[in-house]
Amino acid sequence: MPDTRTLGLTLTSCGLVGVIATAYLGFSWAPLVDPEAWNAPEAYRILFWHVPFAWASFLAFCLLFIGAVSWYRKRTEWGWRLVVTGSELGLLFGLGVVISGPIWGSAEWGVPWDWGDLRLNTYGLLTAVALFLVLSRRTQPDGDDTRDTLAAVGLFGFALVPITALATTWYQNRHPGIVLVESEDTGLDPQIRMVLMLGFVSFLVLFVGLVTLSGTIQALEEELEGRQRMLDEGAIA
Amino acid sequence: MTGMVEAVVAYTLLSSLLATYVVRQIVLLNGLTSKLGESSSRGPEADSD
């Protein structure tokens, strides 16, 4: 499968270049926020990766949802591949959010985690669901029963996505609101917005690259298993 | 305290996370590609050893 391999590697490389550029511009070009309004004005630069990481994790959970529905409806192999890819990338980007959020929180709020905040807790649960899916897939024997169970857990995980995404609109406690949507009113600096947009595009390209790579790897694993099975059957016969 | 140290620490940790995953995927991909290549070139008799 040379085409998807090359495509995946190219998109991943381009995405990484954009992600690095986002970090560089976030530190060197984006202006400092008002030191009177923020406790740790430099720490806000974490958000140039934190927010796109969160968006990418939501995309991963969307893939997980589509895959789980497809698996339940028609037992399609591509549906299961989406479940695997979605859970892996959901864990990767979810961990990024769960790591960077508390670092920013401890600098800005003085505490890394607020157990009374709806978004923090639902997001933590979402990442825990992704961790459960990845670990279960690697430790349980692959079969329809295992896939049914994990797809069901994946559907439950997706139900948390809209709750987490809209948590700051419904019930804002500590976590800031939706940055870009509220920027018209709050007057987000154009340079900050531009770096954030570069981050979104770069992480989107990286995400598509990683999805392509994951799909290619799974296809190769299946091909290898298929060949092994044929050899085993030939040896028995 | 401006939070610059926290920002640098966060970016270091996230870079390591991303780099680890990307390298792991590339190593896995290259390993599988070479295994499939070996399996194709050796043929079924050699594979059954």
Q: How would you write A13-50 as a 3-class SS string?
A: HHHHHHHHHHHHHHHHCCCCCCCCCCCCHHHHHHHHHH
Is any Cβ of chain A less than 8 angstroms from the Cβ of B45? no
Quick one: pLDDT at residue A38?
Answer: 82
The pLDDT of residue B48 is: 47
CB A117 within 8 A of CB A174: yes
Distance to chain A for B18, nearest Cα, Å: 8
- Predicted-complex ipTM score: 0.87
Instruction: Give the alpha-carbon dihedral of A150, A153, A154, A155, to 10 degrees.
Output: 130
Structure pTM?
0.89
A11: nearest CA partner in chain B:
B22
Q: Under an 8 A CB cutoff, do A41 and B2 touch?
A: yes
What pLDDT, on the 0 to 100 scale, is given for residue B47? 47
| Chain B residues in contact with A231 (beta carbon < 8 A) | 44, 47-48
Sites in chain A below the pLDDT cut of 70: 1-2, 167-187, 237
A103: chain B residues, CB-CB within 8 Å: 6, 9-10, 13
- Tell whether B6 is within 8 A of chain A (Cβ): yes
The beta-carbon neighbor of B47 closest among A104, A221, A231 is A231
CA separation (Å) from B7 to A32, A59, A112, B31? 13, 25, 14, 36
| Cα A208 to Cα B24: distance, rounded to the nearest angstrom | 17
Task: State the average pLDDT over residues B2-31.
Answer: 94
Taking the C-alpha atoms of residue A114 and residue A108, their distance in angstroms, rounded to an integer, is: 12
Question: Are the C-beta atoms of residues A1 and A191 closer than 8 Å to each other?
Answer: no
What is the 8-class DSSP label of residue B48?
A: T
Secondary structure element (H or E) that encloses residue B44, with its range: helix B4-47
Angstroms from B24 CA to nearest CA on chain A: 11
Closest alpha carbon within chain A to B48: A231
pLDDT of B46 strictly over 60:
no
d(CA A101, CA A168): 15
Are residues B11 and A234, on separate chains, in Cβ contact within 8 Å?
Answer: no
pLDDT band at B49 (very low <50, low <70, confident <90, very high): very low
Structure tokens at A29: 């070009």
Residues of B in contact with A11 (CB under 8 A): none
Pure H helices in chain A:
2-28, 47-74, 77-108, 118-139, 144-170, 183-186, 190-236
pLDDT at residue A187 in the model: 62
Q: Cβ separation of B4 and A53 shorter than 8 Å?
A: no
**Nearest CB to A99: which of B7, B13, B47?**
B13
